[in-house]
Amino acid sequence: MITATINGNVVEIPEGTSILDAAKRLAIKIPVLCKHPDLDHTAACGICVVRNKSNGRMLRACCTPVEAGMDLLTHDPEIVGVRRTILELMMSKHPNECLTCGRSGDCELQTLCQDFGIRREELPNITPDLPKDCSTGTIELDPRKCISCGRCVQVCQDKQNVWALSFLDRGIDTRIATAGDIPLNESPCVSCGQCSAHCPTGAIVEHDESGIVWDKLQDPDAICVVQIAPAVRVAIGEAFGFAPGANLTGKTYAALRQMGFKYVFDTNFGADLTILEEASEFVERFANGKGELPLITSCCPAWVDFMEKYHSDMIGHFSSCKSPHEMVGALAKTYFCERNNLDPKKVFMVSIMPCTAKKMEIKRNEDMASSGMQDVDVSLTTRELARMIKQAGIDFAWIPESQPDHLLGAYSGAGTIFGATGGVMEAALRTAVHMVTGEKLGKVEFEATRGLKGIKEATLNVAGHEVRIAIAHGLGNVEMVVNKVREAKAKGEPLPYHFIEVMACPGGCVGGGGQPYGVTDEVRLARAKGLYSEDTAGVWRNSHENPYIQELYRTYLDKPLSEKSHHLLHTHYKVRPTYQR
Amino acid sequence: MSTNDQPAAPAKPVLAQPAAPGKPAAPSDQTAIIAKRWRAKRGSLIMALHEVQETYGYVPRDVALKLAPQIGVPVARIYEVLTFYNYFKTSAPGKFVVSVCTGTACHLKGSGDILANFSAQLGCKEGESTTDKLWHLQGVRCIGCCGIAPAVIVNGKVFGKLKPADVGDVIDKVLTADAAAAKV
Ligand code: SF4
Ligand code: SF4
Ligand code: SF4
Ligand code: FES
Ligand code: FES
């Protein structure tokens, strides 16, 4: 531990602590624009300057570690003046478009300009005329709004190992771009949206499709139905002043009903169903030797896309299960319509997801139209829903809770925890044990699956068998796990794992690319905690205990992996060649 | 930002015949040769790109995409470097890029005269383009076709065993092929 003085107050911190973090301990907020808590500093913007009082030098707080005995000043007229100049310079290369910007109201640049009371453009505006990239239909890149902080590049290259974004050109002409200016839809981009979740401005935002949904809600012929993903319920509140992790399931249902949705389903039901199918697949492969091991989860469309592009030798290992919301979509237009005498052609299925990649998943192949039409019509992110709720004039904090439509809306705790890294694995193991032994599990928790470690490996006792598992989140962590499998296969050695779970976003869906802004590990953990508490408090902890799942099989699907299940709930994969990044 | 303004990159050179006797057969792929030369060396990306540009007159997109996995450098990084240095060109300096090999074998077999003839007939100096941007003429280092020296590459197509008098013929062939392609 070392001590230093900041603004006259003494602070004791571990060696290596940045000035930025040290100041936080004294409740001093130094402004930042390029530094993100998830990422290494790029020291690109300079807005975090502070002064070393002993020699008068200016230092960047985000990347300078405190030295013992330092005497620092974070705010004085000159420092504030430097910061203001930095903002003015940024503004001179930034379009003055706040009113129509997807980030307005929640933009780090806009907020700072407000805080600094900037009321005038001091410098002539020299924003270059650069075209947008809207080619993916999931995220949109507007390089004119980029302040060259480098967050997205670090996220896409280092965290996700996708390399779809980079800076091109140099000096004043430096611009954020797709790799080699190749459009994103022809690039390795997997639409994870992590770039948009980390961007401080509106340079990368989700492709907003709320307009289509409003239109359908007004259409007297349309029967609008909706489902919400596990991770949405513990994050949507952040847009309305709730703390991360607050579970607002009932309020979200209520808001959706008020907006005009006729039926409200829950993707957690689909998660329970996925578990029945996927655990059956696992047991088939593990106990009955039918199919390749390890089994790899398939509910994350960004991961599926990445696998099809760069790890297509793993196709045989992939679970053929569709993702939970696609299962609900398929059943909404078949089972649900049949039970309720509805015309499926009139049903308009909207998914509310923490995810930008789901926007491309709903059209990824012909299996996504298993009901005879597109199963899910539109997929919105949590951020889009939050805006819609505001637009609809709903006072979210006060709205009384509502219930889902149980036929496709009742769920177990196992379905809830799908939203966190490790949750799919844990839920599947609970049901797999039951399938092998036929017994009720005493302790349902598999703690080794939880937490934010990038790769979690464990050997678990599942019904007396040794099951080796691996859980990776953040695509940058996948390579190592997949390579271990490849190596063992090539050498004919015993498999390193029997079951692998992958989620593309750090923290899993709770940290999804379409979630409210400002994500950090603290926020991810809080959101995950919200899910795990709902699991603990629930009546049913195992997917197979969900009586509505039981009813679905009894009256409609027959049994897991039946022909009908295969038709409605499973999919295929294909090699998707793109350039080798 | 779109790729559409990129002129079509030359197809990979089709070699008329293998390398000179006594030498191992040259890989029939310029990119592979360049990649192999620079792969193992750290920090050699710029050298590799330099060589690509010397061969093609610019760095064609498909060559960059092929080079990336072969030298183990992501495409994103390659373009960061390409756009950082003014020296590199990412689009063809002319519709037809004439690369006259000035490597040792070709030099000994009279590539100097061939270059001079091209220069006279096209009306532009070495390293420059015609005013209508139709032709770009350049001398390049060994292009791996020493067996058919002296050699010339025009947009990826190799012409070997040329005599100075053949230059007019090469120009005609290129124009005829282009006209035929335009009809289809
Ligand atoms: S990115 Fe921020 S500052 Fe720029 S236009 Fe959008 S809201 Fe305004
Ligand atoms: S969506 Fe994901 S893969 Fe695509 S550019 Fe953004 S971070 Fe990279
Ligand atoms: S697009 Fe956003 S995250 Fe990427 S460098 Fe620009 S401002 Fe930063
Ligand atoms: S936040 Fe420190 S340099 Fe940008
Ligand atoms: S010297 Fe001309 S091809 Fe080798």
Determine contact, residues A475/A160, Cβ cutoff 8 Å.
yes
The residues in A 355-414 lying below 8 A from B, measured between CB atoms, are none
Is any ligand 3 atom within 6 A of the Cβ of residue A148? yes
Q: How far is CA A484 from the centre of its chain?
A: 26
Same domain assignment for residues B13 and B73? yes
Same domain assignment for residues A231 and A153? no
List, in order, residues 6 or more apart from A237 with CB less than 8 Å away. Answer: A243, A244, A246, A248, A396
Q: What is the Cα gyration radius of chain B?
A: 16
| pLDDT, average across residues A182-210 | 97
A31 in a domain, yes or no? yes
End-to-end CA distance of chain A: 43
Determine contact, residues A346/A335, Cβ cutoff 8 Å.
no
pLDDT at residue A30 tops 60: yes
| pLDDT, average across residues A18-35 | 97
Determine contact, residues A393/A259, Cβ cutoff 8 Å.
no
Q: How far is CA A478 from the centre of its chain?
A: 16
Please judge whether A177 and B69 are an interchain contact, meaning their C-beta atoms are less than 8 angstroms apart.
Answer: no
Quote the CA–CA distance of A445 and A451 in Å, as a whole number: 13
For residue B42, name the pLDDT band (cuts at 50, 70, 90): low
Which residue blocks in chain B are alpha helix, DSSP H? 30-38, 45-56, 61-71, 75-84, 104-108, 111-122, 167-183
The count of domains in chain A is 3
User: In this structure, which ligand is nearest to the CA of A203?
Assistant: 3
Same domain assignment for residues A107 and A168? yes
Same domain assignment for residues A344 and A407? yes
Determine contact, residues A352/A389, Cβ cutoff 8 Å.
no
Helix (H, G, I), strand (E, B) or coil at A465: strand
Q: How far is the CA of A32 from the centre of ligand 4 (A)?
A: 5
Same domain assignment for residues B29 and B101? no
A581 in a domain, yes or no? no
Six-digit token string for A49: 């300057």
Q: At what angle do helices A382-391 and A210-218 cross, to 10 degrees?
A: 50
Average the pLDDT over each of A51-55, A313-317, A387-391, A577-581 and give the range with the smallest value.
Answer: A577-581
Q: What are phi and psi of B139, to 5 degrees?
A: -95, 140
Average the pLDDT over each of A166-175, A209-218, A377-386, A542-551 and give the range with the smallest value.
Answer: A166-175
CA distance A402 to chain B (A): 48
B171 in a domain, yes or no? yes
| pLDDT, average across residues A158-184 | 94
CA torsion A460→A462→A468→A469, rounded to 10°? Answer: -80
B17 in a domain, yes or no? yes
Residues within a 6 A CB radius of ligand 4: A 32-35, 43-48, 60, 62
For residue B40, name the pLDDT band (cuts at 50, 70, 90): low
Query: Where residue A166 sits, what CATH number does that domain have?
Result: 3.30.70.20
Give the mutation candidate from A154, A182, A189, A309 for the B interface (greatest B CB count, under 10 A). Answer: A182
- Nearest residue to B152 via CA among B184, B121, B180, B182: B121
Average the pLDDT over each of A126-140, A154-168, A272-286, B47-61 and give the range with the smallest value.
Answer: B47-61
A63 in a domain, yes or no? yes
Residue of A nearest to B84 (CA): A169
Same domain assignment for residues A529 and A394? yes
Q: How far is the CA of B21 from the centre of ligand 5 (A)?
A: 14
| pLDDT, average across residues A488-507 | 96
Same domain assignment for residues A535 and A560? yes
Active-site residue list of A: 278, 281, 299, 319, 358, 361, 366, 509
Determine contact, residues B102/B113, Cβ cutoff 8 Å.
no
Domain that includes residue B125, residue range: 96-183
Query: Where residue A52 sits, what CATH number does that domain have?
Result: 3.10.20.740
> ipTM score here?
0.81
CA distance A174 to chain B (A): 9
Question: Peptide bond before A188: cis, by omega within 30 degrees of 0?
Answer: no
Domain that includes residue A291, residue range: 211-569
Question: Tens of pLDDT along B80-103?
Answer: 999 988 788 888 888 998 999 998
Determine contact, residues A235/A353, Cβ cutoff 8 Å.
no
Determine contact, residues A90/A109, Cβ cutoff 8 Å.
yes
Same domain assignment for residues B73 and B102? no
pLDDT of residue B157: 86
* Token pair 């030498």: residue: B23
**Ligand 1 atom at minimum distance from A94 CA:** 4
Please judge whether A165 and B76 are an interchain contact, meaning their C-beta atoms are less than 8 angstroms apart.
Answer: yes
Q: How far is the CA of A162 from the centre of ligand 2 (A)?
A: 7
Last residue of a domain, one of B58, B84, B110: B84
Quote the CA–CA distance of A57 and A64 in Å, as a whole number: 12
The count of domains in chain B is 2
Helix (H, G, I), strand (E, B) or coil at A368: helix
Same domain assignment for residues B70 and B141? no
Please judge whether A179 and B75 are an interchain contact, meaning their C-beta atoms are less than 8 angstroms apart.
Answer: yes
Please judge whether A183 and B65 are an interchain contact, meaning their C-beta atoms are less than 8 angstroms apart.
Answer: no
Same domain assignment for residues A67 and A100? no
Query: Hey, is the C-beta of A168 within 8 angstroms of any chain B C-beta?
Result: yes
B47 in a domain, yes or no? yes
Query: Where residue A422 sits, what CATH number does that domain have?
Result: 3.40.50.1780
Quote the CA–CA distance of A92 and A124 in Å, as a whole number: 6
Query: Hey, is the C-beta of A164 within 8 angstroms of any chain B C-beta?
Result: yes
Query: Where residue B112 sits, what CATH number does that domain have?
Result: 3.40.30.10
Same domain assignment for residues A249 and A334? yes
Quote the CA–CA distance of B49 and A559 in Å, as a whole number: 59
Same domain assignment for residues B147 and B72? no
A527 in a domain, yes or no? yes
| pLDDT, average across residues A123-144 | 96
B115 in a domain, yes or no? yes
- Total residue length of chain B: 184
pLDDT at residue B118 tops 90: yes
Same domain assignment for residues B168 and B103? yes
Last residue of a domain, one of B25, B53, B84: B84
Six-digit token string for B41: 């060396």
pLDDT at residue B68 tops 80: yes
| pLDDT, average across residues A211-229 | 98
B91 in a domain, yes or no? no
Checking phi first, is residue A474 left (phi over 0); if not, alpha (psi -120 to 50) or beta?
left
| pLDDT, average across residues A22-41 | 96
Residue A457: half-sphere exposure toward Cβ, Cα within 13 Å: 10
Q: What is the Cα gyration radius of chain A?
A: 25
List, in order, residues 6 or more apart from B34 with CB less than 8 Å away. Answer: B48, B51, B52, B55, B67
Same domain assignment for residues B100 and B80? no
Same domain assignment for residues B80 and B100? no
Same domain assignment for residues A396 and A303? yes
A112 in a domain, yes or no? yes
From A39, A192, A505, the mutation candidate for ligand 2 (largest count of ligand atoms within 8 A of CB) is A192
Average pLDDT score, chain A: 96
Quote the CA–CA distance of B160 and B155 in Å, as a whole number: 14
Q: How far is CA A64 from the centre of its chain?
A: 31
pLDDT at residue A157 tops 70: yes
Name which of B1, B75, B84 is nearest A163 (Cβ-Cβ). B75
Last residue of a domain, one of A159, A185, A206: A206
- For chain A, give the percent of residues with pLDDT over 70: 100
User: In whole angstroms, how far apart are CA A565 and each of A276, A322, A341, A559?
Assistant: 11, 11, 21, 8
Q: At what angle do helices A423-437 and A267-286 cross, to 10 degrees?
A: 60
Same domain assignment for residues A315 and A398? yes
Six-digit token string for A406: 């149980």
**Ligand 3 atom at minimum distance from A149 CA:** 8
Same domain assignment for residues B77 and B107? no
Same domain assignment for residues A180 and A230? no
Last residue of a domain, one of A184, A206, A228: A206
| pLDDT, average across residues A143-169 | 96
CA distance B100 to chain A (A): 28
Greatest Cα pair distance, chain A, in angstroms, is: 79
A123 in a domain, yes or no? no
Question: Tens of pLDDT along B9-36?
Answer: 433 333 333 333 333 333 347 777 777 7
* Token pair 């007019």: residue: B168
Q: What are phi and psi of B12, to 5 degrees?
A: -70, 145
B34 in a domain, yes or no? yes
Please judge whether A131 and B69 are an interchain contact, meaning their C-beta atoms are less than 8 angstroms apart.
Answer: no
A310 in a domain, yes or no? yes
Q: What are the strands of the beta sheet with B128-129, ordered from one edge?
A: B128-129, B135-140, B96-101, B152-154, B157-159
Same domain assignment for residues A197 and A328? no
Same domain assignment for residues B130 and B169? yes
Quote the CA–CA distance of A130 and A195 in Å, as a whole number: 19
Residue of A nearest to B62 (CA): A579
Rounded to the nearest 5 degrees, what angle is found at the Cα of A162, between the Cα atoms of A278 and B3?
Answer: 120
Question: Peptide bond before A294: cis, by omega within 30 degrees of 0?
Answer: yes
pLDDT greater at residue A580 or residue B129: B129
Same domain assignment for residues A84 and A144? no
Same domain assignment for residues B103 and B166? yes
Residues of B with CB under 8 A from a CB of A: 1-3, 61, 64-65, 68-69, 74-80, 82-84
What are the beta bridge partners of residue A175? A168
pLDDT of residue B175: 94
β-strand B135-140 against B96-101: which pairing, if any?
parallel
Q: How far is the CA of B102 from the centre of ligand 5 (A)?
A: 7
pLDDT of residue A577: 79
Question: Tens of pLDDT along A427-482?
Answer: 999 999 899 888 888 888 999 999 999 999 999 888 788 999 999 999 999 999 99
Q: How far is the CA of A300 from the centre of ligand 2 (A)?
A: 14
Same domain assignment for residues B163 and B132? yes
Identity at A546, one-letter amino acid code: N
Determine contact, residues B158/B19, Cβ cutoff 8 Å.
no
Is any ligand 3 atom within 6 A of the Cβ of residue A136? no
| pLDDT, average across residues A20-29 | 97
Question: Tens of pLDDT along A346-399?
Answer: 999 999 999 999 999 999 999 999 999 999 999 999 999 999 999 999 999 999
Quote the CA–CA distance of A183 and B61 in Å, as a whole number: 13
- A–B: how many Cβ contacts below 8 A? 60
B90 in a domain, yes or no? no
What are the CB-based long-range contacts (under 8 Å, 24+) for B29-33? B30/B55, B30/B56, B30/B63, B30/B143, B30/B144, B31/B63, B31/B66, B31/B67, B31/B70, B32/B70, B33/B144
